[in-house]
Amino acid sequence: MKNKIVAGNWKMNNDKEQTKSLLNKLNSYKIPDDVRVIVAPSYTHLDQSIQMLKGTQISVAAQNMNAASSGAFTGEVSAAMLKSIGVNSVIIGHSERRSLYHESDEILNNKVKSAIESDMEIIFCFGEELDDRKSGRQFEIINKQLSSTLFNMSELDWKKIVLAYEPVWAIGTGETASPSQAQEMHAYIRKIISNRYNDNLANNVSILYGGSVKPSNVKEIFKGSDVNGGLIGGASLNADDFMAIVNAF
């Protein structure tokens, strides 16, 4: 079964007190039973967030991890470290990691393998740049990004994978993909997964849309039959806005 999922990627925002305050606000809302809600605070507040969200419907993801299990990788965090504090989900492949920190498809493929070996759920991000879309190459780019990072995973591994289509030109720009652009790409993603694997797998993977989703545009985006939720940046920092999105299905 596909899950309806709304995940908040807090990026490098919120100190300890702000994290506490936002989580307290989120905890005061009633969440629909059929929606999974995930928040991704920074590494320094994961433990605190796990503690504050115990027994609630909100779970916690990390924003990144290293593919290695341990060793001389100054400043990095492993899957085992995340698991040891109760974090069972991780965002991999965000466009900011790809562009600012030069994470290649090969690096991302290694991270995916490492996360799967550690039995972590992966929210895998991908998306085309503005130039790709302007030149009509968006489908080719998405096909390449998925083929070189996820299509060597086994069918069983896909049980741990959630996809997040985030066109780079729509991230933090206020410009969102139109509901029909989002639906069209999500349907294409299902088609190439079906071609590589089978219909059953393609129909059961959750595909989230991300890029300037806000309360004012979310209802139309979520109407797409292949859109199973959202990965939310800016609007996830405000409890009212985030919960309006959670309630928008």
Interface residues with ligand 13P (CB under 6 A)? 9, 94, 166, 171-172, 210-213, 231-235
Residue nearest to ligand 13P (CB): 233
- Least Å from the CB of residue 198 to ligand 13P: 29
Q: Is 174 helix (H, G, I), strand (E, B) or coil?
A: coil
Catalytic residue chosen out of the listed positions 45, 94, 103, 186: 94
Q: Is 220 exposed, middle or buried (0-12, 13-18, 19+ CB in 10 A)?
A: middle
Residue 41 has φ and ψ, to the nearest 5°, of -75, 175
The least CB distance from residue 145 to ligand 13P, in Å, is 15
Query: What's the closest the beta carbon of residue 201 comes to ligand 13P, in angstroms?
Result: 24
The residue from 96, 103, 166, 186 that is catalytic is 166
Name the minimum Å distance from CB 74 to ligand 13P.
26
Cβ atoms of 245 and 223 within 8 Å: the answer is no
| Strands 58-62, 35-40: pairing kind | parallel
Q: 3 vs 238, which CB is nearer to ligand 13P?
A: 238
Q: How far is the CB of 121 from ligand 13P (least distance, A)?
A: 16
Active-site annotation holds for 186: no
- The packing angle between helices 239-246 and 215-222, to 10°, is 20
Burial track 177-192 (b if 16+ CB lie within 10 A, e otherwise): bebebbbbbbebbbeb
Whose Cβ is closer to ligand 13P: residue 202's or residue 205's?
Answer: 205
Q: How far apart are CA 151 and CA 171, in angstroms?
A: 25
Residue 192 near residue 149 (C-beta atoms within 8 A): no
Q: Which residues of 99-129 are buried (b: 16+ CB within 10 A; e: fewer)?
A: eeeebebebbbbbbebbbebebbbbbbbbbb
From residue 152, give the alpha-carbon distance in Å to each of 38, 107, 185, 196, 219: 27, 14, 21, 10, 34
Q: Is 166 a catalytic residue?
A: yes
Nearer to ligand 13P, 8 or 190 (CB): 8
Residue placing its CB nearer to ligand 13P in the complex, 202 or 224: 224
Which one, 46 or 202, has the nearer CB to ligand 13P? 46
Would you name the residues annotated as active-site residues? 94, 166
